[in-house]
Chains A and B, each alone.
Chain A
Amino acid sequence: EADIYQTPRYLVIGTGKKITLECSQTMGHDKMYWYQQDPGMELHLIHYSYGVNSTEKGDLSSESTVSRIRTEHFPLTLESARPSHTSQYLCASRVTGYNSPLHFGNGTRLTVT
């Protein structure tokens, strides 16, 4: 069983608020990812990290930022939430290695009103 946790599970917030979505894993994985998924649509990579102090933007343009100060923790921050940010956000991790599988958290479903 994968040990990767996301909080909150659901979040409803007003426009303009700053929010941080939490993601933690206890497996010691060096690689971590944030994906965004709209209902019925494919996942899109918004940020990833190779390890501590290493972060990169993904393919999907995002107004969010991430940090990786500790191996186990990869929070995602929206400085000013907008209705267009309404989506599901999924965190994942894996060890470095050609054949290592992804482990996903249960996701955060964000609604910005």
Chain B
Amino acid sequence: KNEVEQSPQNLTAQEGEFITINCSYSVGISALHWLQQHPGGGIVSLFMLSSGKKKHGRLIATINIQEKHSSLHITASHPRDSAVYICAVLPTQGGSEKLVFGKGTKLTVNP
């Protein structure tokens, strides 16, 4: 069982819909990353969180350290948001460089 679980695995939405992607993890962490991977393979860092909530444009990321859970929300979704969204955690044990990645959530936003 992966230490980082994302849900759903696949998500299809209509343009304009509110999207939520969830990430649960089973270890103590010092930080959590949300990444976006486009079909070409390149990855962009969206957020890094250690507590609370962050907002950037139409994207909002929240984390609940006690519940070991994070969510990524996209408001007013658009076809250009179609990508794989990856959650990654930095465990407090095991070395400071070894991020543990989820398998990703593939989002498709239809016009």
Using CB atoms and an 8 Å cutoff, list the residues of chain A in contact with chain B: 31, 33, 40-45, 48, 50, 56, 58-59, 88, 90, 92, 98-107, 109
Task: Point out the residues of chain B lying under 8 angstroms from A92, CB to CB.
Answer: 43
Q: Evaluate whether A42 and B104 lie within 8 angstroms (CB atoms) in the complex, with A33-B97, A59-B98, A90-B41 already known.
A: yes
Task: Point out the residues of chain B lying under 8 angstroms from A105, CB to CB.
Answer: 42
Task: Point out the residues of chain A lying under 8 angstroms from B101, CB to CB.
Answer: 42-44
Q: Evaluate whether A106 and B31 lie within 8 angstroms (CB atoms) in the complex, with A40-B103, A99-B50 already known.
A: no
Residues 86-106 (chain B) with a chain A CB within 8 angstroms: 86, 88, 97-99, 101-104
Q: List 19 A-B contacts (CB under 8 A).
A: A40-B104, A41-B103, A42-B103, A43-B99, A43-B101, A50-B97, A59-B98, A90-B43, A92-B43, A98-B30, A99-B48, A101-B48, A102-B33, A102-B43, A102-B99, A104-B44, A106-B40, A106-B42, A107-B41
Q: Are B103 and A45 in contact (CB under 8 A)?
A: no
Instruction: Return the contact of B97 from the options A31, A42, A98, A99 (Cβ within 8 A).
Output: A31
The chain B residue with its CB closest to the CB of A89 is B41
The chain A residue with its CB closest to the CB of B47 is A101
Instruction: Return the contact of B42 from the options A41, A58, A107 (Cβ within 8 A).
Output: A107
A-B contacts besides A42-B103, A43-B99, A102-B35, 12 pairs, CB < 8 Å: A42-B86, A42-B104, A45-B98, A50-B97, A99-B50, A104-B35, A104-B43, A104-B44, A105-B42, A106-B41, A107-B41, A107-B43
